[in-house]
């Protein structure tokens, strides 16, 4: 078992490689970064919002869409945290605790805040890293492929409607925060959720369902 927070560990030999990795890919694991280490780096870079370092570790086909998705999720997470802070100051802890989207931070596959890397397996130019997001189940399988002389995360692009839906949700949360700062009371706060926040959450969920995948950009293990 490999702790996903161990960014500075030396390169690992194949963990549970299942005998499927060819010689060139074994060399890549020993001399460069294993898929498990790439997964660890991606998680660490995301915690720092270092999108420039994330990008080169993602296979080019899914790179742009993945970065846009992460940025949209991070906007929602930040807007959520700010709203809860202001709601606590203005209306008390009960109002603050009534709404919390921080669970999103651990529903992002290898980009989650807390991950535990369980195993990595190899087959030719492909590899799979099995990991757990926080205490979540089922486990997640993140796919990698050997390209451009190294292991790259093979990201599944989120549904196209997800990013604008998430960005709009972040805007609505920011608007609700601003209204509280300008003196809105409990009734206005509740109305904002009923009339704006929850309907937009439904649109986010609808976009996810339309893409037939979780909010996470990693595929759940069978």
Query: Over the stretch 178-221, which tens digit does the pLDDT of each residue have?
Result: 999 999 999 999 999 999 999 999 999 898 877 544 444 444 43
Checking if the pLDDT of 15 tops 50, the result is: no
Q: How many whole angstroms separate alpha carbon 139 and alpha carbon 130? A: 7
Neighbours of 144 (CB within 10 A): 27
Percentage helix, strand, coil, to 5, in the chain?
55, 15, 30
CA distances for 114 relative to 40, 47, 56, 186, angstroms: 10, 9, 22, 34
69 against 16, higher pLDDT: 69
Q: How many whole angstroms separate alpha carbon 113 and alpha carbon 110? A: 9
Helix, strand, or coil here: 92?
A: coil
Checking if the pLDDT of 27 tops 60, the result is: no
180 against 8, higher pLDDT: 180
Confirm if 152 and 61 have CB atoms less than 8 A apart.
no
Give the pLDDT score at 211. 56
Checking if the pLDDT of 71 tops 50, the result is: yes
Span 132-142, average pLDDT: 93
Contacts of 222 (CB under 8 A, 6+ apart): none
Give the pLDDT score at 9. 33
Give the pLDDT score at 24. 39
Dig out the tokens for 163 from the structure. Answer: 């990013």
- Mean residue pLDDT across the chain: 83
Give the pLDDT score at 78. 96
* CB-count burial class (<10 Å; 0-12, 13-18, 19+) for 145: middle
Tell me the whole-structure pTM to 2 decimals. 0.80
Confirm if 128 and 144 have CB atoms less than 8 A apart.
yes
- What's the chain's Rg over C-alpha atoms? 20
Q: pLDDT tens digits for 110-124? A: 999 999 999 999 999
Nearest to 68 by CA among 199, 170, 135, 163: 163
Give the pLDDT score at 98. 84
Counting residues of the chain whose pLDDT is more than 70, the rounded percentage is 80
Dig out the tokens for 126 from the structure. Answer: 């492909």
Give the pLDDT score at 33. 92
């Amino acid at each position: 078992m490999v702790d996903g927070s161990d960014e500075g560990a030396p390169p690992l030999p194949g963990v549970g490689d299942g005998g499927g990795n060819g010689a060139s890919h074994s060399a890549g694991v020993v001399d460069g970064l294993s898929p498990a280490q790439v997964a660890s780096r991606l998680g660490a870079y995301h915690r720092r919002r270092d999108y420039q370092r994330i990008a080169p570790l993602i296979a080019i086909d899914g790179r742009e869409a993945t970065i846009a998705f992460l940025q949209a999720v991070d906007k929602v997470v930040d807007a959520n945290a700010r709203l809860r802070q202001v709601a606590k100051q203005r209306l008390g802890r009960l109002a603050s605790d009534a709404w919390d989207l921080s669970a999103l931070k651990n529903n992002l596959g290898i980009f989650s805040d807390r991950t535990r890397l369980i195993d990595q397996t190899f087959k030719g130019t492909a590899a799979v890293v099995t990991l757990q997001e926080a205490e979540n189940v089922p486990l997640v399988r993140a796919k990698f492929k050997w390209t451009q002389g190294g292991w790259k995360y093979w990201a599944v692009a989120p549904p196209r409607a997800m990013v604008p839906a998430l960005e709009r949700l972040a805007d609505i949360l920011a608007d609700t925060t601003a209204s509280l700062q300008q003196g809105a009371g409990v009734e206005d706060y509740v109305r904002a959720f009923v009339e704006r926040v929850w309907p937009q959450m439904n649109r986010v969920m609808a976009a996810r369902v339309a893409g037939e995948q979780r909010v996470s950009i990693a595929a759940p293990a069978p």
